[in-house]
Amino acid sequence: MQRQACRCTFAFFVVKIFIPMNTIAATILDGNKIATQIKAEVAEEVQKLSAAGIRPGLAVILAGHNPASEIYVRNKVKSCQQLGMLSENLTPPDSVTTAELLQMVNELNSRDEIDGILVQLPLPPQVDSKKVLLAVSPEKDVDGFHPVNVGNLSTQRPGLVPCTPAGVIEILRRSNIPIEGRNAVVIGRSDIVGKPVAMLLLNNNATVTVCHSKTKNIAQIAQQADILVAAIGKAGFVTEDFIKPGAAVIDVGINKVTDRSEFERFFSGDPAREKSFAEKGSTLVGDVDPHVAAVAGAITPVPGGVGPLTIAMLMANTVKACRMRRGPERQARS
């Protein structure tokens, strides 16, 4: 009964997937479709701003050589260009100092055409990352990590919200999954994901419990969740016994599986995964065991769930930062 009620409310962006050895499959929340819709909305906003002579601009600082970071930044720059935004990529060498990065950030802070500054993490080990992040003007802090924006979020003032947590809320909202009055459990309390997700759920009137590495009886607490968010960084940590039947499960984790026996634990009998694992020697799994889809009412896949939302929300944040600092409404007020 509960499962059916959940199914009919998840009206948009849903597909069904094959779950081996189980007859009932959760609704799969398609992050790629939702991200595409958000990007289309951002592109419309960019056009409106450009009609007023304003072009939102994002600057990314990518220090040193980190292959994963290089791929992320390339995707961010590509998205900016697709949406008609200005993008600038600064690539200081591995040997860059804290002072040099601070100077770079300060220059970007003072340039009017730059609305968003993103410092790609991790920075080289000799750099004081916290000092560099703190130097980013809160008005241009499109990652939403600056203490001013953290404070704005917790006091429900206008500001910039971290991209992945904002994406989690967009998935719920655009899939018509109610948040208000629901029990939400967030596993993970990082400053980047867990805490801001918990704050956003609270701001949307959920009753929120946050679990972490010292929490006892996590499975029992998770069983109370109508909405369960996992952001831990541990492959398949959340298993079927954590799940209240019909719950919405949002899997933020991204973990690479290379071990055959671990692969089989998660994906045995899944022909598509078998094929890609055989070709690449690895596959991605979230913090949620995929078999949870047999119990949950709705679930985000990995890949293709929360991940695509992160870049979409970065684009949305850049346009928001632009509007708040130099948009037509702002100019009319001053």
> Using an 8 Å Cβ cutoff, are 35 and 312 in contact?
yes
Tokens matching residue 140: 């241009």
Q: Any contact of residue 232 with ligand NAP (CB under 6 A)?
A: yes
d(CA 37, CA 33): 6
> Minimum distance between the CB of residue 282 and ligand NAP, rounded to whole angstroms?
15
Decide if 130 is catalytic.
Answer: no
Active-site pick, 76, 140, 244, 320: 76
- Answer for which of 126, 176, 213, 331 binds ligand NAP (CB under 6 A) is 213
Stretch that binds ligand NAP, among 74-82, 85-93, 240-248, 304-312 (CB under 6 A): 304-312
Distance of CA 260 to the CA centre of its chain: 28
Size (the chain), residues: 334
- With residue 129 as reference, give the H or E element that holds it: helix 129-135
Q: Any contact of residue 246 with ligand NAP (CB under 6 A)?
A: no
User: Which of 57, 307 has the CB closer to ligand NAP?
Assistant: 307
- Answer for which of 84, 92, 178, 233 binds ligand NAP (CB under 6 A) is 233
Angle between helices 307-326 and 31-51 (to 10 degrees): 20
- With residue 163 as reference, give the H or E element that holds it: helix 163-174
Active-site pick, 143, 226, 287, 289: 143
Considering only residues 160 to 179 of the shown chain, the ones binding ligand NAP according to CB under 6 A are: 164
Nearest to 82 by CA among 320, 327, 314, 322: 314
Q: Is 79 exposed, middle or buried (0-12, 13-18, 19+ CB in 10 A)?
A: buried
Stretch that binds ligand NAP, among 12-20, 274-282, 305-313, 321-329 (CB under 6 A): 305-313
Decide if 143 is catalytic.
Answer: yes
Q: Count the residues of the shown chain that bind ligand NAP, applying the rule CB under 6 A.
A: 25
Q: Any contact of residue 119 with ligand NAP (CB under 6 A)?
A: no
Q: Any contact of residue 196 with ligand NAP (CB under 6 A)?
A: no
Q: Any contact of residue 116 with ligand NAP (CB under 6 A)?
A: no
Q: Any contact of residue 280 with ligand NAP (CB under 6 A)?
A: no
Q: Any contact of residue 255 with ligand NAP (CB under 6 A)?
A: yes
User: Which of 92, 233 has the CB closer to ligand NAP?
Assistant: 233
Q: Any contact of residue 211 with ligand NAP (CB under 6 A)?
A: yes
Q: Is 169 exposed, middle or buried (0-12, 13-18, 19+ CB in 10 A)?
A: buried
Stretch that binds ligand NAP, among 12-20, 71-79, 124-132, 227-235 (CB under 6 A): 227-235
> Minimum distance between the CB of residue 121 and ligand NAP, rounded to whole angstroms?
9
User: Which of 164, 175 has the CB closer to ligand NAP?
Assistant: 164
Q: Contacts from 131-138 at CB under 8 Å and sequence distance 24+?
A: 131/98, 131/102, 132/98, 132/101, 132/102, 132/105, 135/102, 135/105, 135/106, 135/109, 136/105, 136/109, 137/109
Q: Any contact of residue 234 with ligand NAP (CB under 6 A)?
A: yes
- Answer for which of 125, 214, 217, 261 binds ligand NAP (CB under 6 A) is 214
Find all residues with CB under 8 Å of 102, minimum gap 6, and list them.
Answer: 131, 132, 135
Q: Mapping DSSP to helix (H, G, I), strand (E, B) and coil, where does residue 86 land?
A: strand
Q: Which residues are catalytic?
A: 76, 120, 143
Residues of this chain that interact with ligand NAP (CB under 6 A) are 164, 187-190, 192-194, 211-215, 218, 231-234, 252-255, 306-307, 310
